[in-house]
Structure 1
Amino acid sequence: MPEGHTIHRLAAEHRERFADVPLRLSSPQGRFAESAALLDGERLVDTDAHGKHLFLEFAGERFVHVHLGLYGQFSFGEGEKLPEPVGQVRLRMAAKVPGGASWADLRGPTACRLLERAEKDAVHARLGPDPLRDDADPAAAWRRIERSAKPIGALLMEQDVLAGVGNVYRAEVLFRFGVDPKLPGKRLARATWDAMWADLVLLMHEGVRLGRIDTVRPEHTPEAMGREPRKDDHGGEVYVYRRTDAPCLICETPVRTAELVGRNLFWCPTCQPSA
């Protein structure tokens, strides 16, 4: 599932491609056809992202709300003419550009629906603070964490506690601060949480800028350590994510993995000792 930096990048790309130009909206698959017809010919006013939720705003405070889920994805293109849709395209947005057309196709999302302002506000209200948003309040997440007996590794993945953090950022920020993923939230020190939040803000903004997740410090890059770069579909240099049984980059202990709330958890038992 895409993490929050990907959704913020999508918000920016839609804004750059389609803001304030007449758009043709359609639903080749048919499941969004009625709502697409209501917006066809309208202009994109703005875009917004909160955690893993994308909002495309049109006149009259109408918002296309997209949650990609596990399988959803956007594809973008430009050409002399619009191609025929390929696959199950839930939503197509297209605009005229010099020399032809620009388009975005959405396939396989968990959610694609048209919302009014009150409905959009309700989505925001049920989400935790997003490290990529200027209006984020980390204290709101802390109030949930400090009262919970759940493992911190589970709490960081709960979108009503902290929005936008997924499996990669969860594993990596815990490693960077030497926190046992199974530590109950109520036993986490406030100073550690404040430092983790600040780190997530920096790491996730870098994710938006680069389009990939890099979490290793300068002294642990392949160039600094004389090691081979990581080879993984997700890209990026990481400490523990998807490095099961590989030596920790700091202490050489084999990285461990286990399942926690239905997702694979990765950690170093030496650098993240049980408390």
Structure 2
Amino acid sequence: MPEGHSVHRIARQFQRNFVGSRVSLSSPQGRFAVGAAQLDGLVMTDARAVGKQMFLEFDHRVWLRVHLGLYGAWDFSGEILMDATIASANGRMGQTNQQGTVLDPIHDSAGENSLHSIGAPRRTRVRMSEQEKETNAPETFPPDPIGQVRVRLLTETVCADLRGPTACEVLDPQQVDAVIAKLGPDPLLDASPEAEDRFTAVVRKKATPIGLILMDQNVVSGIGNVYRAELLFRANLNPYAPGKSLTEDTVRALWRDWAHLLKIGVETGQMMTMDDLDGDDYVLAMANRADRHWVYKREGLPCRVCGTHITLEEMGARKLYWCPRCQS
């Protein structure tokens, strides 16, 4: 499932390429024909992400809410202006490690680019889901729909196709407010002390294991299976510890680490949680998922800190990866 950093990156592409433009909407698959007809021909006025959910606003104050869920993804094609989140002082575009060294964009072993630079419009095709993959540009624009496209958004220069979402619906402003009100704070949208206080207070009242609390989007927005495992390891926390058993300082540190990792994820396009790497180690980690996580998908392998074998269990119908010694 795409986690919070991916959805924020997708929203930024809509901000860069669609906001301010009149948009044609259709439903090649047919399942969203009524909703597409409501929005067809309107001007997109806003694009925002809250955790794992994205909201696209159109004039006449109507919104399109999209939750990608487990299988949803966006495909962009046309003259895409990519959002640049990192540039060096001399204007060179690339990606930086956490020590500030500017690197050329690093492709991982699957050919996916962790950060697309911004410049002249490029005819390209980008799949925006948990990872971003650039493929060959279609020969014609707009391209023929491929697969089960729930909704297509089209301007004179850019096309965005949505496939496989959990939710895709038209809402009015009051309905949008009601959805967002139920979500926990998102540190990329609200880094205020009040947001940290809200998260801390809710967690410390719950008897629920912290490994389940972090996945509850009503408590905190954007954390999925990868970030859950990595945050708990970085905090040396047992996933089964009740929220109310944790100290206030521990919970506040979790919130701040989530804000830190989310920012890295948005900037690099990768869920880079080994954030103290530099040089060749950093390049290797960006190129290979197996080299950029502490415990996620490392079941049976020795812990990078203590050597104990990483355990794989099930929690909340999702896979849980953790070190029984470091997180005892």
When normalised by structure 1's length, the TM-score is: 0.91
Native 8 Å contact 1:222 1:229 kept in 2: no
Instruction: Give the Cα–Cα distance (whole angstroms) in 2 for the partners of residues 24 and 213 of structure 1.
Output: 33
Match of residue 258, structure 1, among 313, 316, 321: 313
Q: CA deviation at 1:163?
A: 1.1
Q: CA RMSD in A?
A: 2.0
Instruction: Give the Cα–Cα distance (whole angstroms) in 2 for the partners of residues 205 and 188 of structure 1.
Output: 25
In structure 2, what is the equivalent of residue 60 of structure 1?
Answer: 60
Match of residue 123, structure 1, among 171, 176, 179: 179
* Counterpart residue identity of residue 310, structure 2: V
Match of residue 237, structure 1, among 278, 282, 292: 292
Q: 1:228-261, CA deviations, whole angstroms, 9 ceiling, x for partnerless residues?
A: 75886x6770100110011111111111111111
Establish whether residue 193 from structure 1 lines up as the match of residue 251 from structure 2: yes
Native 8 Å contact 2:284 2:291 kept in 1: no
* Counterpart residue identity of residue 171, structure 2: L
Q: CA deviation at 1:143?
A: 2.1
Native 8 Å contact 1:257 1:267 kept in 2: yes
Structure 1 segment 114-263 matched on structure 2, within 5 A: 114-134=170-190, 137-218=195-276, 223=280, 229=285, 237-263=292-318
Q: CA separation of 1:231/1:19 partners in 2, compared to 1, >3 Å: closer, same or farther?
A: closer
Q: CA deviation at 1:224?
A: 5.1
Q: For residue 218 of structure 1, give the secondary structure of its aligned residue in structure 2.
A: coil
Native 8 Å contact 2:183 2:219 kept in 1: yes
Instruction: Give the Cα–Cα distance (whole angstroms) in 2 for the partners of residues 108 and 6 of structure 1.
Output: 16
Q: 1:177-210, CA deviations, whole angstroms, 9 ceiling, x for partnerless residues?
A: 1111110110011101111111110110110111
Q: For residue 147 of structure 1, give the secondary structure of its aligned residue in structure 2.
A: coil
Instruction: Give the Cα–Cα distance (whole angstroms) in 2 for the partners of residues 215 and 258 of structure 1.
Output: 21
Q: CA separation of 1:222/1:252 partners in 2, compared to 1, >3 Å: closer, same or farther?
A: farther
Q: For residue 264 of structure 2, give the secondary structure of its aligned residue in structure 1.
A: helix
Q: How many residues align?
A: 266
Q: CA separation of 1:222/1:266 partners in 2, compared to 1, >3 Å: closer, same or farther?
A: farther
Native 8 Å contact 1:212 1:236 kept in 2: no
Q: CA deviation at 1:132?
A: 1.8
**Could you list the runs of 4 or more consecutive aligned residues of structure 1 that deviate by over 3 angstroms after TM superposition?**
221-225, 227-232
Q: CA separation of 1:208/1:230 partners in 2, compared to 1, >3 Å: closer, same or farther?
A: closer
Structure 1 segment 104-119 matched on structure 2, within 5 A: 104-119=160-175
Q: CA separation of 1:213/1:23 partners in 2, compared to 1, >3 Å: closer, same or farther?
A: same
Q: For residue 63 of structure 1, give the secondary structure of its aligned residue in structure 2.
A: strand
Instruction: Give the Cα–Cα distance (whole angstroms) in 2 for the partners of residues 218 and 84 of structure 1.
Output: 44
* Counterpart residue identity of residue 76, structure 1: F
Identity %: 43
When normalised by structure 2's length, the TM-score is: 0.77
Structure with larger RCO (C-alpha < 8 A, sep 6+): 2
Instruction: Give the Cα–Cα distance (whole angstroms) in 2 for the partners of residues 228 and 162 of structure 1.
Output: 31
Q: 1:9-40, CA deviations, whole angstroms, 9 ceiling, x for partnerless residues?
A: 11101111111111111111111112211221
Where does the alignment leave 5 or more consecutive residues of structure 1 unmatched? none
Q: CA separation of 1:63/1:135 partners in 2, compared to 1, >3 Å: closer, same or farther?
A: farther
* Counterpart residue identity of residue 10, structure 1: I
In structure 2, what is the equivalent of residue 91 of structure 1?
Answer: 151
